[in-house]
Amino acid sequence: MQVFSPHSTKPGFIATDAEELDAGRKGSDRFLLAIVIMLMMVGLMAVYSSIAYFAETKGSSAGSLLLGHMVKMGIAFMVMILFSKIDYHLLLKFSKIALLVSWALLLFVILFGTASFGAKRWISLGGFSFQPSSLATVALVLQVTTLVVKKQEYIHDFQRAFLPIMVWIFITCALIGVEDFSSAGLLFVITMLILFIGRVKILHIGGLVGLGILGGLLLIGQNPERQKRIDNYIEQVIHIKSDSFALDEGYQSQQAHIAFARGELFGVGIGKSSQRDFLPAPYNDFIFAIIGEEYGLAGGVFLMILFSLFLIRGIGVVARRAIDQQGLMLASAFTLTVSLFGFINAGVASGLLPVTGLPMPFVSYGGTNMLFAGLMVGVVLNVSKKKLNRA
């Protein structure tokens, strides 16, 4: 029997008889699903601890916001189950339409979006908020995967293959990067991975990376807030100037460091955080600091182990056993996206990285990021349903 395989070096990626489809197809990867459920449970407890001050600013109660978060979590879980049952090849057929729609929404955000923490990233209509960059991330991964597979016979051709793919990547990342540089940079890295897996020339990828770095520097240069974040990072972490800082410089990182210092090895206990009253967005961007304070180093390490296991399982097992190149690239890209969001969020809270606005998937409070994280995991689970047996 012959099936499409990502492991073949021949155009078309045809598998040999030694790499046949698993006749059993026992369903989605349960280990991966269990990790996501544990992340959701950790997130539920962390949001419960960090939501009180946010509720006061909204004129609401912590209980009502927690209930809303649970509803969003439930919706994200249903989306994950739904997309685990939809053949990922069907999603690839709608990638171009989805990406064009996301472009229109991103333009709308630039012109009329709702500002939050100094950046316009949201569309707010009738009390409902939506972040188009999440849709654009999923749509671009689908579109680049579609194009790479479609152009596989002449993938080394610059004009016929690489240039058309590069246009989609640059326009999407540029539209996101105007208001959300960190998400654009992460998406750019993910697409480079897809091109590498798709056998695009290293020379072409290197040139694209160079252009991406240049574009990133331009985006940083046109935004004083981004420059300030980089300067604060250099000051506080690398200590180029001094160890004394003004109260308004690096305030977020300082409060996060205090949270980790209070947590020590096993934390101060659930619901006993004091830094939630001082940290900006303790329920979202800095939720890892609240976990570090209440559960200590042990809790933070446990959470990082969960994301590490998710990364290893998604790429080392699901992607590696995918029946075709599309499955390999989608499982790798979406697994890496979810994992990197988690690692970067933790890196920011612990002071290892400059301050960004990236949430921690399934842990941070929010709707859009959790919804699309559920969608991406659902696609990975769908890929896991069809796998190769190795002789």
- Over 70: is that where the pLDDT of 3 sits? no
- Over 50: is that where the pLDDT of 245 sits? no
- Over 60: is that where the pLDDT of 37 sits? yes
Q: Helix, strand or coil for residue 360?
A: coil
Residues belonging to the chain:
391
- Over 60: is that where the pLDDT of 11 sits? no
Average pLDDT, integer, range 97-102: 96
Does residue 12 lie in a domain region?
Answer: no
Does residue 9 lie in a domain region?
Answer: no
pLDDT at 127: 62
CB neighbours (10 Å) of residue 162? Answer: 24
Alpha helices (runs of H) in 51-94, residue ranges in sequence order: 52-57, 62-85, 88-93
Give me the number of domains the chain comprises: 1
pLDDT at 57: 65
Return the structure tokens found at 73: 């979590």
Residues 147-166 have pLDDT tens digits of: 999 999 999 999 999 999 99
pLDDT at 332: 95
Does residue 347 lie in a domain region?
Answer: yes
- Range with the lowest mean pLDDT among 18-22, 202-206, 253-257? 18-22
pLDDT at 285: 81
- Over 60: is that where the pLDDT of 299 sits? yes
pLDDT at 223: 66
Average pLDDT, integer, range 191-201: 92
pLDDT at 237: 55
The mean pLDDT of the chain is 82
- Over 90: is that where the pLDDT of 386 sits? no
Does residue 141 lie in a domain region?
Answer: yes
Q: What percent of the chain has pLDDT over 90?
A: 47
Does residue 99 lie in a domain region?
Answer: yes
Distance separating alpha carbons of residues 52 and 58, to the nearest angstrom: 10
Residues 38-66 have pLDDT tens digits of: 999 999 988 888 887 666 666 677 777 78
CB 163 within 8 A of CB 21: no
pLDDT at 222: 66
- Over 70: is that where the pLDDT of 21 sits? no
Residues 115-125 have pLDDT tens digits of: 665 566 777 76
pLDDT at 7: 42
Does residue 5 lie in a domain region?
Answer: no
Cross-strand pairs, 125: 128
Diameter over CA atoms, the chain: 68
Average pLDDT, integer, range 81-110: 94
List of residues 6+ apart from 54 with CB closer than 8 A: 65, 282, 283, 365
Does residue 11 lie in a domain region?
Answer: no
Q: By residue range, what is the domain housing residue 100?
A: 19-390
Does residue 147 lie in a domain region?
Answer: yes
